Amino acid sequence: MRTTNFLASLLSLAPLVIGSAVASAAPLPPMKPVTIEGTIAKAQWTPETKVAGRPGFSGSLGVDHTVPAHFRIELVDFRGLSTDLAWRLNGIMSDPTSSQTERENPPPHLVLQLNEKNPHALTKGMRIRVGDYVVSGDEGGTWTRFTKLEILSRPPGEK
């Protein structure tokens, strides 16, 4: 009788344990598109890279895929999104400031990944607007998309 109750108790916990394992490998929660404006404080370009899949893993981690050429930029004086979303995006982009516990104010900068083949398209000091920016991803990586990238102003002396 005790063994039966113990097994029944153990089996009743299985959905919780399995649910936790599935949740940790789940894709990022959906994000509504936002239009973000800001000034580039840092811009780093990375060429297209091929990533080999890891056998036995789910999602994009388990299959070969290509990471498009992109910029990783830090925007200052940014606007267009809530403070909570700004902190969330910085966390997704593994920004060191995202570990701060005080989050009543916006982060000091906003980290974005922008797919772009031209390594000279974005430079420090440009004021830009990114239309309909969205971040998604899973255990294999993070993907971003946007509908429009506008250069609103350039640093003095740049054409």
Q: Which residues of 61-99 are buried (b: 16+ CB within 10 A; e: fewer)?
A: beeeeebeebbbbbbeebebbeeebbbbbbebbebeebe
Question: What are the tens digits of pLDDT across the range 47-95?
Answer: 998 888 888 877 777 888 788 999 999 999 999 999 999 999 999 888 8
Q: Both ends of the chain: CA-CA distance in Å?
A: 82
Q: Which residues contact 70 (CB under 8 A, 6 or more apart)?
A: 45, 46, 113, 114, 115, 116, 144
pTM for the complete prediction?
A: 0.76
Domains and CATH numbers, the chain: 26-153 (2.40.50)
| Mean pLDDT computed over 116-139 | 94
Instruction: Quickly state the pLDDT bin for 16 (edges 50, 70, 90).
Output: very low
Angle at alpha carbon of residue 84, lines to 114 and 80, rounded to 5°? 55
